[in-house]
Structure 1
Amino acid sequence: MGSPSSGPLPRSARATDIIRFYSRKLLVAAAAIISFTVLFLLYTRGSSLNLNYGSHRPQPISPSEAPDNKPPSPFHPHSHDNFIHLDAIKEFWAPWASAILASKPPIPEITVRMPHSNLGVSEEEARKPRTPPANLINLSPSEMSNLTEAHASFMGNLAAYKYPDRDVNSLFHHRGVVTVAGGEYFGPAIVGIHMLRASGCDLAVEAFVQNWDEYEPELCEEYLPKLNARCLVIEDFLSAHVDKALEVTHYQLKSLALLFSSFRDVLLLDSDSIPLVDPAKLFQSAAYKTTGFVGWSDFWKSSETPSFWTIAGLPSFPANLPSPCSESGQIVVDKMRHLKTLLLATYYNIWGPKWFYPLLSQGALGQGDKNTFETAAVVLNSPFSRVPKGVKSVSRRTGERGAVKGSAMLQFMPENILPDGMNEGLEVIPTSDRPAFIHANTPKMNAGHLVDEGDLVTDEGRHLRLWGSKEDQVKIFGEDLEKRVWLIVKETGCELANVVKEWKDRKHLCKRLKEHWNEVFG
């Protein structure tokens, strides 16, 4: 007797086998398509959020654990967990975006009768508390009432927010450095990151760009990861229907970068603020251990209208505020202790250009986001600290009879550094006379702009130093700092002349950088 399968099958059985055969083929094909789609999406989108958390959400850490709690280096540019963090941040941010929009000031743009004078602060004045500046804004009683109501509305949201620790624990961990790059800010940011590594700092860096037009794949996916840095795209965290109404640009980007970064303990650096010491030491300062917020002074007396404090709900002008206004070229902040501070600062920055910047600066030089972070801490009665040693000017002379122009702001270390893991009250290391940052804002260390905009030569056409003589720099920094920074400017400018988007059309960039180097430092 033949086997049961040796003869022809009935029609129904053959149809069933055919269906099974093609079903298996379809399943295999579908699996292949799904796998390819997932890999494609991870490759094409994952690079904007190089967040490498492993297989779990971030977990909180104590400050003393931080030296051993760095994300892997270099970051993987296409991590699946990027999407987990992105979704979690978007979920966290969405109600706050709505709250900020709902609390938009319902009044016309604030104007000033005349810009507030830019008054310098002597060392003696800097030791005295702030006195109320003159009121120079145009604001009617009804406008002030409406603005006070809008501010109170957002403050009500903050008061009802009872679980910031939970959000911090689930969203943020590690220590790290955050900067806003993109476009013309990529150049100085790259110099700053190289100086960060030269200081011995291995903290991870997150460089935020505003949108995908500013995202440069070769920089973000090849060059920066080698420096333990990655790019994040701010628009990826935003919702189209709400955040579009918030008009997020320029100064607003810094406060959002602070909120959206993956770090809990953050050094926020302007792209043109160059670290001169290992910033990890800042997290060990007595000021940071005590308050979780360390800021630095600007050159000028604070110039906010006293009316601001009434609008913010304070009963009177705050006592014992520092006399100089603050600057935001560098801020050190613990998001566990200051998440509400950052949310309120974001509210001030979103509605800053038309309302809160005039209130906080009254048209004085440098009006922008610089006062918003510290002011938010004051309004919330949250602890903060200001580095006592004031900012110093770094300048250059433009010619034999030329004017003296400011080139940079020199900021110093906090007064005392605690050995890692120790608490306040134990032996401290005095550091207050040591330069911590050179905020090179005029001009910025952008290789392309430096050679094209005339800042490198005197009125007579002679190449010049930007930060003073070699002898003066050795006295201040213990070395020829400008030469060290310019070596990075020259080398990165030559290496990336055809990589950085805004440098590609600048003719003979490398040659011109070398010419300046040879004339000044050779």
Structure 2
Amino acid sequence: MRLISSSPKLPRRHLLILPPLLLLAIVYFCLNRREGFGSSSSLRGGSKLASTHLPSKFWQSFAPVLEATAPKCPPPVAPRNATASSTHLDASHKVLNMSTADIACLHRSHALFVDLINFGAPRLEFKKGTKGLATLATKSGFPVLLINLFMLRRTSSSLPLEVFLETEDEYEPDMCEVVLPRWNATCIVLSSLLGTTKHNLQIVGTQLWGFALLFSSFESVLFLGSGSFLTRSPDELFDSKAFAKTGLVLWPSKEVSLIPRQESQIFGMGDGITSDLSAIDHRQILISKKHHTNVLSLVAYYSIYNAYYGPLMSELRIVSLAAVVMTKPFYQIDHLPHQLGATSATSAILQFDPASDFNCTFPCRPEAMFIHTNWLSPESGLMTTMGILERFWGSEEESRSLYSQDIEASAWGSVTSALCNSEMVFHDWEVCHKARMRLSYVFGSSQMNDYGGNES
């Protein structure tokens, strides 16, 4: 069943701009055109420390708009021990303490930002016609990053990867200047782009994925979260009908997103419109920046003012809600994610290919595209995992029937490659030895080849 989600015609109750605010919109529009915008070169990581980049002209124009539309009221608060049943609401709703004045205040701020962006959307900095991947990383997460990168290159894809770091403290010269460029990947430090204005805007760490998309130099971007890797080449995603028709492809989450009853009032939409939006797994997002500038701008606004809008929407609905508010189409994968293995730290979540999902009519099974697993993270027990000498995700036969390869063996091969790469600052011979031993014992010695080279 095809599920092309095209945003409905929304009631324009939020067109409340008075003459002074309209003047502000005109000033913003003029500044937007007068200052101009640089080429994508200002965002390129290359092999130099990102702080040497030119300031982002986009951010210099966008930050004042974010600051001018800041809510001027207290953020919403959930009452202690409140439950949906205690207030006789449907279980899909949550309770927030908000006065009528606070609801009107948030509505005005949100409406002002939406109208300013619709009046003169910022010109995002990207190189026309380009496509690539973007991800987030920390210094402690470089081993996981390398695993994901090796898995990407195993699919025969040569698409470039931009690795976004929050601050220069996360920058590792050997990784960013030597290792990653060999695999067509570059580092970009967000603080060097965001810290170029006088405006005091705080970005919550968990919301940084939206800014990775906002500042990526690619016109078409696939965001790939930490611990998510591809089972097949992502190149075909950019040519899929789902992406060509909408410019935005989203993958579902099994988690439930609770909706406050004040949401439709604040976002200026009819009752029931937002409640139809399913939770989204933002560990993979495919978007055209050319066609969805307004959506990314609104995602950034929600992220900056997460204290106000976070309780209203949940991070699981931030992109789909932004698309609906901006009346932009998107395609949501119809098939829910599939769990591999037992419910534990060693399990994995499978997401499907939009091309086969788009053409799929029930009953059918689309092809696998992404796998997300927690055991790739050092904080989630990778070292403990090495001591478990058995398969986690089912038999080899089942894996080959689903993905045409032994995906678990491939994943552990990439783990071994990352941990055994002698160029890595995190290289530890003992850890490498344990990874090799598990790979050989569980998956066979034939899987010991072609993990990326430069192994000790």
Q: Any conservation in 2 of the 1:446–1:489 contact (CA below 8 Å)? A: no
Deviates more, 1:195-204 or 1:311-320: 311-320
- Rate the CA distance shift 1:306–1:292 in 2: closer, same or farther, 3 A: farther
Partner in structure 1 of residue 336 of structure 2 = 390
Residue by residue, what CA displacement relative to the aligned partner does 1:323-352 show, whole Å, maximum 9, x if unpaired? x31110111100110011000011111222
One of 43, 48, 62 as aligned partner of 1:96: 62
The normalised TM-score by structure 2 is: 0.78
Alpha-carbon offset, residue 257 of structure 1: 1.1
Q: Any conservation in 1 of the 2:346–2:385 contact (CA below 8 Å)? A: no
Identity %: 27
What does 1:162-311 correspond to in 2, within 5 Å?
A: 167-168=123-124, 172-239=128-195, 242=198, 245-311=200-266
Residue by residue, what CA displacement relative to the aligned partner does 1:407-465 show, whole Å, maximum 9, x if unpaired? 222100114599xxxxxxxxx7999610000012x22x24686444x3455xxxx5343
Aligned with 1:254: secondary structure? helix
Aligned with 2:253: secondary structure? strand
One of 362, 369, 372 as aligned partner of 1:439: 372
The unaligned stretches of length 5 or more in structure 1 are 1-55, 60-71, 118-130, 362-368, 398-403, 419-427
One of 419, 430, 438 as aligned partner of 1:508: 430
**Distance (whole Å) between structure 2 residues aligned to residue 448 and residue 358 of structure 1:** 27
Alpha-carbon offset, residue 197 of structure 1: 1.4
One of 341, 344, 348 as aligned partner of 2:302: 348
- Rate the CA distance shift 1:309–1:184 in 2: closer, same or farther, 3 A: farther
**Distance (whole Å) between structure 2 residues aligned to residue 115 and residue 345 of structure 1:** 28
- Rate the CA distance shift 1:142–1:229 in 2: closer, same or farther, 3 A: same
Alpha-carbon offset, residue 139 of structure 1: 1.9
Q: Does 1:485 align with 2:411?
A: yes
Residue by residue, what CA displacement relative to the aligned partner does 1:364-387 show, whole Å, maximum 9, x if unpaired? xxxxx3321111001111111101
- Rate the CA distance shift 1:285–1:375 in 2: closer, same or farther, 3 A: same
Deviates more, 1:133-142 or 1:106-115: 106-115
Partner in structure 2 of residue 6 of structure 1 = none
Q: Any conservation in 1 of the 2:139–2:170 contact (CA below 8 Å)? A: yes
Q: Does 1:111 align with 2:77?
A: yes
Partner in structure 2 of residue 412 of structure 1 = 352
Letter in 1 for 2:354: P
Q: Any conservation in 1 of the 2:353–2:367 contact (CA below 8 Å)? A: yes
Alpha-carbon offset, residue 196 of structure 1: 1.3
The normalised TM-score by structure 1 is: 0.68
One of 268, 281, 289 as aligned partner of 1:327: 281
Q: Any conservation in 1 of the 2:302–2:318 contact (CA below 8 Å)? A: yes
Aligned with 2:263: secondary structure? helix
**Distance (whole Å) between structure 2 residues aligned to residue 446 and residue 79 of structure 1:** 26
Aligned with 1:152: secondary structure? helix
Aligned with 2:115: secondary structure? helix
**Distance (whole Å) between structure 2 residues aligned to residue 146 and residue 333 of structure 1:** 31
Q: Alignment RMSD, CA only?
A: 3.2
The unaligned stretches of length 5 or more in structure 2 are 1-37, 85-89, 445-456
- Rate the CA distance shift 1:334–1:228 in 2: closer, same or farther, 3 A: same
Q: Any conservation in 2 of the 1:292–1:384 contact (CA below 8 Å)? A: yes
**Distance (whole Å) between structure 2 residues aligned to residue 182 and residue 116 of structure 1:** 36
Q: Any conservation in 2 of the 1:210–1:249 contact (CA below 8 Å)? A: no
- Rate the CA distance shift 1:145–1:328 in 2: closer, same or farther, 3 A: same
Aligned with 2:284: secondary structure? strand
- Rate the CA distance shift 1:285–1:173 in 2: closer, same or farther, 3 A: closer
Letter in 2 for 1:226: R
Where relative contact order (Cα < 8 A, 6+ residues apart) is larger, the structure is 2
Deviates more, 1:218-227 or 1:134-143: 134-143
Partner in structure 2 of residue 315 of structure 1 = 270
Q: Any conservation in 2 of the 1:179–1:271 contact (CA below 8 Å)? A: yes
Aligned with 1:155: secondary structure? helix
